[in-house]
Amino acid sequence: MSNQHHKPVIGISCGDINGIGTELIIKTFADNRILDMCTPVIFASNKLINFYKKTVTDVNLNFQNLKDINRPYPKQVNIFNCWEEEVNITPGQFTDTGGKYAVKSLQAAVEALKAGQVQGLITGPIHKKNVQSQEFNFSGHTPFLKQFFGVNEVLMLMCAENMRVGLLTEHVPVKDIAPFVTRQNILRKLLILKDSLQKDFGIDKPRIAVLGLNPHAGDEGLIGKEEEEQIKPAIKEAKQNNILAFGPYSADAFFARGSHEKFDAVLAMYHDQGLIPFKSLAKGEGINFTAGLPVVRTSPDHGTAFDIAGKNKADEASFRQSVFSTIGILSQRIEYAENRANPMKRMSGAVLTNAEDEKIEETGA
């Protein structure tokens, strides 16, 4: 199906029922214009949505109760009830109940995603502590999705209009980071990042910056050996595998000088090294994308925000951007597949581009 005529069905997990996830959903999909771009299916319960509708008084969300997951209502917000029982909703409170029903929503959503009943997934924020159980023993969405879809490696990729930052390590204690900084691990992440930039973002020859682990990128081995022994060899091998990787760069100077704008993506060595500058520069509209999956999953770039839950204070900008990004990546994947299935189409586009360039040179335009 041509992406020009394809309006995807997008699944949404609600996240912690005591956090801001449901408020973000209501504020985002109360704008009916978004229904021209996708058909949303929210995995939660009518009662949860109605509870938070009372706290968000300045917008009005209309929805349909979806009985058959295979037949969502077009041009409507669909609610697929993952539970029918009465649940105690306590906005702003950290409870086991909040985590339990976040997992119920997530599991129902990923089952539908795997079955092809929804084409993309946006996950509401969860708290990593209260979701822990025998059924869910993961440090977050990313490792859970990696196991659920049976892939060997994924990449947590933070995306905004002006930057993309991937993470070598995700939720790892700082004292344990260094052993993960190996040539093999870096190369694996760079391969995923390159493939994603091509397939998901339409960048034919992406340029990737690699950050160092230590201050000043090790100062030629004076402040740590990881740059000399692991990171530089990984970058060299990446180039031998046709990956345009550069570095390692000192993280502080790299972002302070705006060097990230010269690259299509950045690979950071650990969580805060990448996310502090990302969240500082993304202007509140950054999103989290799991690269390397056979499906498309995004989320807002923030957590449950218990301190403002239920107070109608949550900013939906990042969640709304997650919806747009999911739609955009799905469309790009379709175009990528079509171009690979029909190489003449890609070739004709390149010929046209070359012809246009020659015309510009001739006319001096």
Q: pLDDT tens-digit profile of 303-341?
A: 999 999 999 999 999 999 999 999 999 999 999 998 888
| Residues of the chain above pLDDT 90, percent | 84
What DSSP line would sit under 61-97, residue for residue? Answer: --EEE-S-TTSPPTTSEEEEES--S-----TT---HH
Give the largest CA-CA distance in the chain. Answer: 72
Contact predicate 82/22, CB 8 Å: no
Which pLDDT band, with edges at 50, 70 and 90, does 117 fall under? Answer: very high
| CATH number for the domain formed by residue range(s) 1-151+293-365 | 3.40.718.10
* Bridge partner residues of 215 (DSSP): none
Query: CA–CA separation, 119 vs 103, rounded Å?
Result: 20
Would you call the peptide bond into 248 cis, given omega within 30 degrees of 0 as the criterion? yes
> What sign does the CA torsion over 105, 144, 28, 335 have?
negative
Contacts of 139 (CB under 8 A, 6+ apart): 128, 170, 171
Structure-token pair, residue 157: 């990729």
Query: E strands within the chain?
Result: 9-13, 39-44, 63-65, 77-81, 120-123, 155-160, 163-167, 207-211, 244-249, 265-268, 287-291, 296-300
Residues in the chain: 365
Question: What is residue 284's predicted lDDT score, i.e. its pLDDT?
Answer: 73
**What are the residue boundaries of the structural domains of the chain, listed by start?**
1-151+293-365, 153-290
Query: CA–CA separation, 344 vs 347, rounded Å?
Result: 5
- pTM of the entire structure? 0.89
Q: pLDDT tens-digit profile of 43-102?
A: 999 999 999 999 998 899 999 999 999 999 999 999 999 999 999 999 999 999 999 999
Q: pLDDT tens-digit profile of 278-302?
A: 999 987 789 999 999 999 999 999 9
What DSSP line would sit under 214-235, residue for residue? Answer: SGGGGTTTTT-SHIIIIIHHHH
Q: Between vectors from CA 87 to CA 82 and to CA 88, what angle results, nearest 5°?
A: 150
Query: CA–CA separation, 229 vs 49, rounded Å?
Result: 53
Q: Which CATH class is domain 153-290?
A: alpha beta
Query: CA–CA separation, 25 vs 77, rounded Å?
Result: 10
